[in-house]
Structure 1
Amino acid sequence: MTTRLPAALLAPVLLVQGAGVRRRTPVLPEAAGPRSGVVPGEVPALTVAVLGESPAAGVGVATQEDALAARFAEALAGESGREVRWRLSARTGTTAAQALGRLVPGLAGPPADVVLVVLGVNDTLRLRRRAAWRRDVAALLGALAPLTAPGGIAVLAGLPDMARFPTLPQPLRGVLGRHARALDRELEALVRPGVRHAPAPPLDGPGLFAEDGFHPGAAACRIWAGELARVALRP
């Protein structure tokens, strides 16, 4: 059964629940601090570009030091021993289609050895059709290709399991969880030489969510960044 059929049948309930979630969920700011940096290590340096929606922007933590991009850079440096130079272009609420105009220009700079893409939750909330989502991400990968160094890779961060987000009630949680899994399968289908998919680890343990029950907290960012780094450095 597709996601859209149960969503259509449950539309009145989902609309009420969605409004309730928006009303009671605190709106957290993006993390403060620089959106680029250098993690010391051996040369030659590894250049990293991160693009994405609110988790990439650091919503859920206070500073960029604890956010996903900086933690990813630290994990890469720790695993590889190399210096890592990273930069971030991220904005809350961005979809894959919007990322082309909103975020790609902000990644201008030296060609990146690793490009990390963190998108999909906003597309899930909008119940973006699977085929359209796949086209959006494919177009985004095409736009990122000129920013990627020869032999570099793009890592598609897998969607987190939205069926486990504490702030979402049932049946809204179930509908969004199923759709997130469907969109994640489309990311897997885009894997090819130079493009990798990194499944999201479980991020719903005690103390892993931010106070809004929706975004990853500092501990979750460390766990997630470690998994992403392992996929990025895989032979």
Structure 2
Amino acid sequence: MQLYQLSLPLLAPLLLQQGKRVRRDTLRLPEAEGDRTGQQGHGWPLRLLIFGDSAAAGVGATHQHQALSGQLIQCLTPHHPVDWQLIAHSGLTTANALAFLQSQSPRPADVLVLSLGVNDVTSRISVKEWIFQYEKLLNFARQQLDVSHILATAVPPMHQFPALPQPLRWYLGQRAQHFNQTLAAHLHSANDGEFVSIAGQLTGQHMASDGFHPGPAIYQAWANTIAKRILTRLSK
């Protein structure tokens, strides 16, 4: 059992109080404006689906050009034409992600970029149940959307989130690390899946004004990392 799990009985009252205060006081930022679908470049396109929570939706950036989708398209199109679609919604958990994705009539895609987990870490879901729900989503993407390359983004380093007070920051940071370790191990044996982390490249100073979401610099680093993985796979 992880240390954060052992500490929960002792810390629970304080964590509950701090969690309520964070939800009440944290600045609410909108999802980034801009297109969520498009095709750029000429020739046979790479079909790309970006799916997930508020980070995928670009919260913390003013426009999608500054967010993950826009930055990623800018990285990819000098090398390959891209037919892309962004499906994202603030507050999504992995447990309700599949139903939401199905409701949006996603197009078939070659590459799926996922951003999920923060809302799971802040919920009561177990790591085991989280992986079960994650795999259901991956199987849908493989079987129904023709996805052959999955890039699962790590839960961000929540121990660095300025919006979170201690010990809540420590607790959620440890829980996020546990989720990431489990997801990385789960994807290790999958020929079509990659675990992607940008932890250590940037700090809390690069986050949005709410202290909870990425700022443009983090979106850029995230997009650069994803683009390198995609282009490396295409070159094989």
> Percent same amino acid at aligned positions?
36
**Displacement of 1:205:** 3.1
Corresponding position of 2:231? 233
The counterpart of 2:155, out of the listed 155, 159, 165, is 159
Cα distance change, pair 206–137 in 1 and its aligned pair in 2 (3 A):
closer
Contact 2:48 2:109 (C-alpha < 8 Å) held by counterparts: yes
Does the alignment pair 1:190 with 2:194? no
Q: TM-score, normalised by structure 2?
A: 0.90
Corresponding position of 2:209? 211
Please show how residues 35-54 of structure 1 align to structure 2 within 5 Å: 35-40=36-41, 43-54=43-54
Q: How many residues align?
A: 230
Corresponding position of 1:22? 23
Tell me, in whole angstroms, the C-alpha distance in 1 between the residues paired with 2:93 and 2:131: 12
Tell me, in whole angstroms, the C-alpha distance in 2 between the residues paired with 1:35 and 1:8: 43
Match of 1:65, SS? Answer: coil
Contact 1:89 1:104 (C-alpha < 8 Å) held by counterparts: no
Match of 1:82, SS? Answer: coil
Corresponding position of 1:146? 143
**Displacement of 1:106:** 2.0
Match of 2:137, SS? Answer: helix
The one-letter code of the counterpart of 2:198 is A
Contact 1:49 1:114 (C-alpha < 8 Å) held by counterparts: yes
The one-letter code of the counterpart of 2:61 is V
**Displacement of 1:229:** 1.7
Does the alignment pair 1:132 with 2:129? yes
Contact 1:203 1:216 (C-alpha < 8 Å) held by counterparts: no
Match of 2:65, SS? Answer: helix
Match of 1:224, SS? Answer: helix
User: Which ranges in structure 1 are unaligned for 5 or more consecutive residues?
Assistant: none
Cα distance change, pair 161–34 in 1 and its aligned pair in 2 (3 A):
same
- Show CA shifts across 1:73-105 (max 9, x none): 222234xx1111210111111111100101244
Corresponding position of 2:222? 224
C-alpha RMSD of the superposition: 1.8
Corresponding position of 1:11? 12
Corresponding position of 1:72? 72
Tell me, in whole angstroms, the C-alpha distance in 2 between the residues paired with 1:147 and 1:155: 17
**Displacement of 1:122:** 0.3
Match of 2:59, SS? Answer: coil
Cα distance change, pair 206–8 in 1 and its aligned pair in 2 (3 A):
closer
**Displacement of 1:204:** 4.3
Match of 2:214, SS? Answer: coil
Please show how residues 161-180 of structure 1 align to structure 2 within 5 Å: 161-180=157-176
**Displacement of 1:107:** 5.0
Q: TM-score, normalised by structure 1?
A: 0.91
Tell me, in whole angstroms, the C-alpha distance in 2 between the residues paired with 1:181 and 1:45: 36
Tell me, in whole angstroms, the C-alpha distance in 2 between the residues paired with 1:113 and 1:161: 28
Tell me, in whole angstroms, the C-alpha distance in 2 between the residues paired with 1:56 and 1:157: 10
The one-letter code of the counterpart of 1:72 is L
Match of 2:32, SS? Answer: coil
Contact 1:37 1:86 (C-alpha < 8 Å) held by counterparts: yes
Cα distance change, pair 34–158 in 1 and its aligned pair in 2 (3 A):
same
Tell me, in whole angstroms, the C-alpha distance in 2 between the residues paired with 1:31 and 1:67: 7
Tell me, in whole angstroms, the C-alpha distance in 2 between the residues paired with 1:37 and 1:201: 29
Tell me, in whole angstroms, the C-alpha distance in 2 between the residues paired with 1:201 and 1:107: 32
Corresponding position of 1:32? 33
Match of 1:55, SS? Answer: coil
- Show CA shifts across 1:24-76 (max 9, x none): 21111111121112333x53211100110010011111111211122222222
